Chain A
Amino acid sequence: MNRYRITYQKTGPLRYISHLDLQKIWIRTLLRAKIPLAYTQGFHPVPKISPGWPLALGWNGLGEIIDLWFDFENLNPLLEITEKDLSDRINQNAPQGLHVENLQLIPLYSPALTTITHSAVYGINFSTKISPDELQKKMNVLHAAPSIVRSRRNKTYDLKPLIENFSIFPDPDQNTIMEVQMAARDSAMGRPDELVEALGIPMDQIRFSRLYFLLESSLNI
């Protein structure tokens, strides 16, 4: 058994596919790619896969992560086991919008993906609804407050400590972009749409992407 950490994109039509359906898509894609997934032990064996934090429906994921366990004993002997070959195979058998960017062998018993995920970086595209300067001002005001109390699913929480970093800039098409790093831990999950709401900017025509995750190991470097 080998464990791989895979960084991939979830874009296009796949934006509208739920976290649960996406896992089934992974399983089918690997079956088609003839890369045997390892199964759990027990009476009802299920494929060993461990996805990162769910991505909100409708958003682009440009650096999503999933851990997969492959069972190379059952591998088609004609298949090469290089990282490039594995990711090529997956990409050839993936539906539109699912694309492996990077595939890396990791120690079998390293900690679970979600426990070592620290933060996520989001891109918020405001189109031309607000200029970078204006947005910067709004962010400054927001940041000056001692706390940003929000309520979600009938629970109130403070958004402020979940915002870890941000930068604002125009893209080549003169759209206003904000990249924001937010906490992505079990106990503290920052949502960029909550931030936009806290800024008092109407949500229509704003596009969200999750650009990449920051893992414990990558923070140490």
Chain B
Amino acid sequence: MNSKEIEEQLDQFLLNVQKPGRYVGGEFNSIQKNPNLIKTRIALAFPDIYDLGVPNLGMSIFYDQLNQISDVWAERSYLPWEDMEAEMRKRKIPLYTLESKTPLSEMDMIGITIPYESLYTNVLNFLDLAQIPVFSKDRSAEHPLIIAGGHSTFNPEPMSAFIDVFVIGEGEEVFSEIIHIYQSWKLENKAKIELLHEISSLEGVYIPSFYEPEYHSDGTLARLTPVFVRAKQKIQKRITAVLPPPPKHFVVPLIDVVQNRVAIEIMRGCTRGCRFCQAGFVTRPVRERPLEQIIESIETSVEETGHEEIALLSLSSSDYTQIQPLVSKLHEIYNKRKLNISLPSLRIDTVSVDILEKLRGSRFSGFTLAPEAASEKIKRTINKHITEDLLLETVDMIYSHGWQTIKLYFMIGLPGETLEDVQAIADLCIKVIKIGRKNIGKRSQLNLGISTFVPKPHTPFQWAKADDPEQIVEKQKLLKDSLSTPGIKITWSQSDTTMFESWSSRGDRRQSAVIHRAWQLGAKFDAWQDHFNKEAWIQAFEENHLDPNFYMHRERGENEIFPWDHIETGVSKRILRKEYELSLKGDLREDCRSGCYGCGVNQSFALIRAENPDSKWFCPPTPYQPEDSK
């Protein structure tokens, strides 16, 4: 089917599906190019529906960046919702790009963003709807090259059978390098393996088909061996020494999506060292974006999009060194305009209340804080230690300054957690709502988000077992019973989602077969509450003779080789282990801005730092040390 036929077909049935505006493109700032002048055609894919994909910042960055290359055309594609999928399958319409309605199978490359594990089956469904073989081994030079990146790919192994090339870490530079190699390869008319060989020489690129795993009899990994001499033993993630300027143009959707806003990253990386937080470890070192660049980018993107909401993103906004000047400046410019500026992940203190007070404009949305833990023991376990006094003082200020709703995030199921620790969460929440009542009476509201902890690769808890489902149920019940008072509302993470996350985030290569089978059995949209198809997954594990508990409920040995060990984030495994041990002892680790503890990031990336003298990192400068001299 060509694009004209696809368009004609769409006109036949689009009115029968929900929100047809998802499937037609035509948005302001979407890019049209003349295909005859294009050398390389790329589809950027988000393997979930349009509504979730459009706000994705990574997609916006690559879309803007790649379309600046004159002989490259990057288009977008999202996964259709089930009603649309059914129509497309019935009529044999291949998945197409929104801009030109070209079938994805005609692209040179498809770059898939996989930020979280619950999109794995969607990736397969996406390829299948595009009429592209899902297994990498079944695709030749005739098929588009399938590239994947995003946070979940810091453990690429579960998806290794489906993806040709993983980009590990920050893709801003790598993507254009891959295109470059692709373009000369295509001219020479060589085999796909040649292309992969060439690409494998790039930093931050992992080609799973170049490696073979071997397992011990107990099921743990013995080694992952390169099958080609030239394939690297270790893949170091890619970083940019200086944050590239934010995207200039954002696609403005025609329909409402989950976040109708412009997102601008103000800082990358985090030095706080919360032990549960994968992002905190894998995005180091901390790099800030200059204040002027942020202001300029807000001004142009507000003008260019007509959005009235801006989100300033980072893992810990309060740590942005220019936060006060930034807020004052924004207050000065946008005070009188109808603009909403959100600044998530502020530290819990009264300064943050001042900051948000300046930014909130006329709208009082809820005030969100994430203490994560309440008992002294668990605060020490996770290395996020906010004293109760400080929290309550902050809460008092929030309620007394006009906010009626506070949202607090806590985690349960952390290593070593007992019912007592969970009770501490309940006790704390009662104190919080009492403060609300004291300030503004019955109007005060406390919304609780209680998530279940899932141990993640590349964090100190990568050795830890996930909590037993029975324990989680009991802990949730305790909270439910203690907090069934007016004014408090609780949302939980779904136990199925937790289970899924815990087996797939630390999965190995054998899980590719499980994912494939689960998808065949109908699993898709696993992140959607009522969609998780547990039976399909259990059957898929069984048929592949794998035990989900092996991945979930097993404390790993100190020296176990992990399936993701060949992926290096720069933070050494030795330090992660040290952190885990400190955690078990209940020892805190200070924010490393006030003292570097040598996590390894500054050594690992010393070279690129040296090459970019204007890079301002928070790590102390160390002379470049080659690996073996450490």
Contact = CB atoms under 8 A, between A and B. Distances in A.
Nearest to A25: B254
Nearest to A59: B15
A129 interface: no
Given A16-B20, A204-B12, A28 B26 contact: no
A93 B28 contact: yes
A95 B27 contact: yes
A13 B303 contact: no
A29 B15 contact: no
Interface string A1-37: 0000000000011101110010011011111101000
Contact of A14 (B11, B14, B26, B30): B26
B168 interface: no
Contacts of B256: 21, 24
A30 B303 CA distance: 10
B351 interface: no
A12 B99 CA distance: 12
A95 B15 contact: no
Contact of A21 (B26, B255, B303): B255
A163 interface: no
A18 B252 CA distance: 16
B28 A95 contact: yes
Given A16-B14, A16-B21, A97-B26, A21 B254 contact: yes
Interface of A: 12-14, 16-18, 21, 24-25, 27-32, 34, 57-58, 93-97, 204-205
A32 B26 contact: no
B254 A29 contact: no
Interface of B: 11-12, 14-15, 20-21, 23-28, 30, 252, 254-256, 303-308
Nearest to A24: B256
Contacts of A58: 11, 14-15, 20
Nearest to A12: B26
A24 B257 CA distance: 12
A34 B305 CA distance: 11
Contacts of A12: 24, 26
Contacts of A97: 26
B14 A32 contact: no
A32 B28 CA distance: 10
Contacts of A96: 25-28, 30
Contacts of B26: 12-14, 95-97
Contacts of B21: 13, 16-18, 21
A30 B306 CA distance: 8
18 contacts: A13-B24, A13-B25, A13-B254, A14-B254, A16-B14, A16-B23, A18-B21, A18-B255, A21-B21, A21-B254, A21-B256, A24-B256, A28-B28, A57-B15, A58-B11, A93-B28, A96-B26, A96-B28
A31 B215 CA distance: 60
Contact of B303 (A18, A32, A95): A32
A97 B304 CA distance: 18
Given A16-B14, A95-B27, A97-B26, A28 B303 contact: no
Contacts of A28: 28, 252, 305-307
Listed residue (B12, B30, B252, B307) with the most chain A CB atoms within 10 angstroms of its CB: B252
Nearest to A33: B306
Contacts of A17: 21, 254-255
A18 B20 CA distance: 9
Given A21-B255, A25-B254, A93-B306, 15 more contacts: A13-B254, A16-B23, A18-B21, A21-B254, A27-B306, A29-B306, A30-B306, A31-B308, A32-B304, A58-B15, A58-B20, A95-B252, A96-B25, A96-B28, A205-B12
B306 A95 contact: no
Contacts of B303: 31-32, 34
Ranked nearest first, the 5 interchain pairs of A and B with the lowest CB-CB distance are A13-B26, A28-B306, A31-B306, A96-B26, A13-B24
Nearest to A20: B256
Nearest to B302: A31
A31 B23 CA distance: 25
A127 to B, nearest CB: 12
A16 B15 CA distance: 8
B225 to A, nearest CB: 50
A58 to B, nearest CB: 5
A14 B14 CA distance: 12
Nearest to B29: A95
B83 to A, nearest CB: 14
A147 B553 CA distance: 74
Contacts of B305: 28, 32
Contacts of B254: 13-14, 17, 21, 25, 95
Contacts of B20: 16, 57-58
A29 B27 CA distance: 11
A13 B20 CA distance: 9
Contacts of A205: 12
A21 B304 CA distance: 19
Contacts of A57: 15, 20
A25 B304 CA distance: 13
Contacts of A95: 26-28, 252, 254
A14 B20 CA distance: 10
A96 B20 CA distance: 16
B363 to A, nearest CB: 10
A57 B27 CA distance: 17
A197 to B, nearest CB: 15
Contacts of B308: 31
Contacts of A34: 303
Nearest to B14: A16
B512 to A, nearest CB: 37
Nearest to B17: A16
B185 to A, nearest CB: 34
Nearest to A43: B362
Contacts of B12: 204-205
A30 B305 CA distance: 10
Contacts of A30: 306
A152 B252 CA distance: 36
Nearest to B307: A28
Nearest to B26: A13
Contact of A94 (B25, B28, B30): B28
Nearest to B25: A13
Contacts of A14: 26, 254
Listed residue (A25, A30, A58) with the most chain B CB atoms within 10 angstroms of its CB: A25
A112 B303 CA distance: 30
A12 B25 CA distance: 10
B154 to A, nearest CB: 36
A58 B15 CA distance: 7
A83 to B, nearest CB: 22
A152 B23 CA distance: 29
Nearest to A28: B306
Nearest to A93: B28
Contacts of B15: 16, 57-58
B28 A16 contact: no
A93 B304 CA distance: 9
Contacts of A31: 303, 306, 308
A13 B21 CA distance: 7
A28 B30 CA distance: 15
Listed residue (B20, B21, B254, B305) with the most chain A CB atoms within 10 angstroms of its CB: B254
Contacts of A32: 28, 303-306
B199 to A, nearest CB: 35
Nearest to B15: A58
A159 B254 CA distance: 34
Contacts of A16: 14-15, 20-21, 23-24
A16 B14 CA distance: 8
